[in-house]
């Protein structure tokens, strides 16, 4: 009987530690998502200088994620997509041309979409939106379209292609 109770105690501690580690990782991933939204909002508002600064913040937030606690398959996905996000963020931050920034943002967006769908970490509802003119998608914290690929030229061009409910 003591062995069974001891085993149950060990399993409970291990599960609690994993859940705590996972929740800390989810918090960090939601900070990445918030930083992503800030880049998206800057591009949607045609603010290329703000987009540069926000892309640097996004990259720093990706670096701050404690990914080692993720299960193997999620860890692999995170590592692959984090590399894309950081590379494209550097491209965006290294350009003063908003068209170049928007092209880099497209790569960031697809990596973020893949990461979110694989890791399912969002604490709020997320909208996957698509612009048929740009032939590109992005994530939005609001259901209303705010097109980062055309900004003020076509601010509300696009549609919601998917809704990802909060975890």
CA gap 44, 117 in Å, rounded: 23
Q: What pLDDT, on a 0 to 100 scale, did the predictor assign at position 17?
A: 42
Q: Is 60 exceeded by the pLDDT of residue 32?
A: yes
Distance of CA 31 to the CA centre of its chain: 8
Q: Which tens digits make up the pLDDT trace of 111-142? A: 999 999 999 999 999 999 999 999 999 999 99
What φ, ψ does residue 139 adopt, rounded to 5°?
-100, 145
Number of other CB atoms surrounding residue 157 within 10 Å:
16
| CB of 149 closer than 8 Å to CB of 101 | no
Q: Which tens digits make up the pLDDT trace of 58-116? A: 999 999 999 988 999 999 999 999 999 999 999 999 999 999 999 999 999 999 999 99
Greater model confidence, 23 or 68:
68
pTM of the model as a whole: 0.86
Q: Please give the mean pLDDT across all residues of the chain.
A: 89
| Residue ranges in 45-166 assigned as alpha helix (H) | 48-63, 72-93, 98-119
């Amino acid at each position: 009987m003591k062995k069974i109770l001891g085993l149950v105690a060990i399993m409970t501690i291990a599960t609690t530690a994993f859940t705590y580690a996972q929740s800390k990782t989810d918090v960090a991933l939601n900070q990445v998502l918030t930083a992503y939204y800030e880049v998206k909002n800057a591009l949607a508002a045609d603010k290329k200088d703000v987009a540069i600064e926000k892309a640097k913040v996004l990259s720093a937030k990706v670096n701050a994620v404690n990914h080692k606690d993720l299960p193997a398959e999620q860890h692999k996905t995170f590592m692959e997509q984090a590399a894309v996000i950081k590379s494209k963020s550097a491209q965006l931050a290294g350009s003063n041309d908003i068209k170049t920034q928007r092209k880099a943002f497209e790569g960031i967006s697809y990596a973020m979409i893949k990461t979110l769908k694989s890791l399912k970490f969002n604490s709020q509802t997320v909208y996957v939106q698509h612009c048929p003119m740009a032939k590109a998608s992005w994530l939005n914290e609001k259901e209303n379209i705010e097109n980062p690929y055309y900004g003020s030229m076509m601010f509300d061009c696009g549609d919601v292609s998917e809704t990802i409910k909060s975890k």
